[in-house]
Amino acid sequence: MARLASSRWSIVLGLAIVIAALPFLFPSNYYFRVAAIVNIFALAVVGLNLLMGYAGQVSLGHAGFMGIGAYSVAIGSAHFKLHGLLAMLIGAALAGLVAFLVGRPILRLKGHYLAVATLGFGLLISMALANEAAWTGGPDGMGVPRLEILGYRLRGPDTWYYISGGALLIGVILALNLIESPTGRAMRAIHDSEIASRVAGIDVAAYKLRIFVLSAIYASVAGSLMAFLNGHITPDGTAGFLRSVELVTMVVLGGMGSVVGAIVGAAVLVILPQALTIFHDYEHLMLGLIIMVSMILLPRGIVPSLLARLRGGGA
Amino acid sequence: MAYPSWFSRRVILAAGASAMAIAAAPAFAQGEIKLGAVLSVTGPASFLGDPEKRTLEMVVDDVNAKGGILGRKVRLIVYDDAGDPNAARTFATRLLEEDKVTAMVGGSTTGTTMAMIPAFEDAQVPFISLAGAVQIIQPVKKWVFKTPHTDTMACEKIFEDMKKRNTTKIGMIAGTDGFGKSMRDECVKVAGKYGIEILHEESYGPRDTDMTPQLTNIKNKAGVQAVINPGFGQGPAIVTRNFKQLAINVPLYQSHGVASKQFIGLAGDAAEGVRLPAAALLVADKLPDSDPQKKVVVEYSKAYTTRTGQPVSTFGGHAYDGFMIWKEAVERAKTDNAAKVRDEIEKTKGYIGTGGIVNMSPTDHMGLDLSAFKMLEIRNGDWTIVQ
């Protein structure tokens, strides 16, 4: 079981089956919407997990890249009349470029300094989005024209469930391949000890920067999908500081350094608030309590801790 | 093969379940009337969502205690979006798809409202928003209404007062937050209509603690007859204090954004003589008996303060108005059918609420005019109504 779950292709196959089978259990569009949001956040979190779990770098401003993706789609299609998909690609390229430019100086920092620098970057993006009202509609946000492909308007949550599911699958395949590649091994070496990996001949700065750029592109694509799904975006909702914290929480809760963990973390944090509404005024209390308890009992994150238990007890 | 048989069983189950749901539907229609509300009860906009939630719970309890609407109980389903438009949209989908509400009174902020509008337009269910911005109802959306005044109206009310006093040349200092920026744009747009010329403009950030330099610029500009300050939170209080310190000898107009006792507390003596437009609810006890709104605002503020032990806010009033407009529409339509209720909401005429007298039409889904605002002046640390 444990070996099965950690093998590359069984993860991809399992995920594909889950994405394809879930709709049979969905009684209404509401479920499709929640699942689509899980897919979208999972995509961003898989990217962030590469940075945090493998390269060992914290980013507290990752929602900023989601904001770049979301607003590229909105501004591209509303102001420049670009096709939505083209705008999404431009957004991904832009996010990658921004990550490259800010990553060079920022990634020289370590620990708290890195966290604070990325935090500042995220705030900067969301402030810029809120202030450039002529382009972004200001703090109240702007509408996103519906995506049209071959004359067919994509609007239903079910449609976006399948699209976001496909995107997540591609994202997971890329991430898993990367982890198994020499780059992935170099990343893990950096995570364990920067000095040791430098001694082993790994260009630490270059690898860090590459992963930072890659994770920014993941977040940007996720942001674009979110914009298409919702049809209306706001600076706080896409690029806000709380959104960044939420992404980091998903990584830690699901399990750092685990692709499946990233998806589980996203699913738990998206679905829990929906399930906890039965507690009415105590829902936030319950949410905090559940996260605390799971971090105490499963300190390495849900997936790695459970896998370790299976390995220990089941073999 | 196990998979196909499982698959077909699921399909049969699903088909059976939906057939049962269809069969059960008519019987259920005579049960409760479901009203949805997605509000920002927690988070940065909780000062809006909290009184809105308390108000809706209060009026729904009252209505149910008196036998409900059309003899049917009202079931209020509230979700807290914590100010996040994305969460608001998900809860809106949930209200429509899962809870099957036939109307919604909610949407505390412009951001959450705008995020939810497509869901209600698609589902063809009436949505009465409690948020301020004019973009919610302009252009007119078939299923969307709102109860609060717009910032355009606040500008117009101020300019109307200036015109009455033969003030034509003014200075403006605006906050750069969402509220200040939106109102500043609207003021610039409508100034011409009242023959008002904005001679000089300044701005300040939401966390600035000293506006003396900007105000000095305005003071030094020759010919400024009054100053207007679109803003929200502590900024306007600092502007008011600095204004007094610099001894600028022209009237200062604040916006409806600071219409709370807190503002007078923050600005202290400097608030003396400041004028601002505000809803009648704020001065419930000072309204003349002849005022048509007197009865409703006094009753609402009494009921709200007794039940919650908190002072009334205009935001709770917006929720009260939204609920009442919906309730009266359901009573006129004699059904909670979404399409018929929507038509009746649009026909709302002469509804006297806490926010003003509402006359809706196919081209106006808010239905308030400038009489909804009272012009107030702060004298001896309290509001007085300026005629």
Tell me the two tokens of residue B290: 């002849």
* Facing B178 at nearest CB: one of A27, A37, A138: A138
Domains within chain B, CATH numbers bracketed: 32-149+297-369 (3.40.50.2300), 152-284+373-385 (3.40.50.2300)
Tell me the two tokens of residue B301: 């503020």
CB contact under 8 A, A139 and B181: yes
Number of A/B CB contacts below 8 angstroms equals 83
**B85–A contact, CB cutoff 8 A:** yes
Amino acid A3: pLDDT:
52
Q: Is B373 helix (H, G, I), strand (E, B) or coil?
A: strand
**A140 Cα to chain B: minimum distance (Å):** 5
Amino acid B63: pLDDT:
95
**B380 Cα to chain A: minimum distance (Å):** 36
**B319–A contact, CB cutoff 8 A:** no
- What are the residue ranges spanned by the domains of chain A? 2-314
DSSP E strands: which ranges in chain A?
142-143, 147-149, 152-154, 232-233
When scoring A25, A232, A233, A278 by the number of chain B Cβ atoms within 10 A, the one with the most, hence best to mutate, is: A232
- The top-level CATH class assigned to A2-314 is mainly alpha
Q: Are A287 and A273 in contact (CB under 8 A)?
A: yes
| ipTM score for this prediction | 0.86
Amino acid A313: pLDDT:
58
* Facing B84 at nearest CB: one of A24, A133, A237: A237
Amino acid B311: pLDDT:
83
Q: Which long-range contacts (CB under 8 A, 24 or more apart) does A302-308 make?
A: A302/A253, A302/A254, A302/A255, A302/A261, A302/A264, A302/A265, A302/A268, A303/A254, A303/A255, A303/A258, A303/A260, A303/A261, A303/A264, A304/A255, A304/A256, A304/A257, A304/A258, A304/A261, A305/A255, A307/A2, A307/A5, A307/A6, A307/A258
CB contact under 8 A, A273 and B177: no
Mean pLDDT by runs of 10 across the 387 residues of chain B is 43 46 44 94 86 95 93 94 90 94 93 92 95 88 94 92 93 86 89 92 87 93 92 88 93 88 87 91 87 92 92 90 96 94 95 92 93 90 86
Residues in Cβ contact with B64 at an 8 Å cutoff, skipping those fewer than 6 apart: B73, B74
For chain B, give the longest Cα–Cα distance. Answer: 89
CB contact under 8 A, A236 and B84: yes
**A127–B contact, CB cutoff 8 A:** no
Query: A232: nearest CA in chain B?
Result: B115
Q: Are A232 and A141 in contact (CB under 8 A)?
A: yes
Q: Which residues pair with B75 in a beta bridge?
A: B34
When scoring B6, B86, B97 by the number of chain A Cβ atoms within 10 A, the one with the most, hence best to mutate, is: B86
Amino acid A308: pLDDT:
87
**What is the reported pTM?**
0.84
Average of pLDDT values for A103-117?
Answer: 84
Tell me the two tokens of residue A69: 């993706």
**A27–B contact, CB cutoff 8 A:** yes
Amino acid A240: pLDDT:
87
**A139–B contact, CB cutoff 8 A:** yes
Which residues from B are below 8 Å from A283, CB to CB? 80
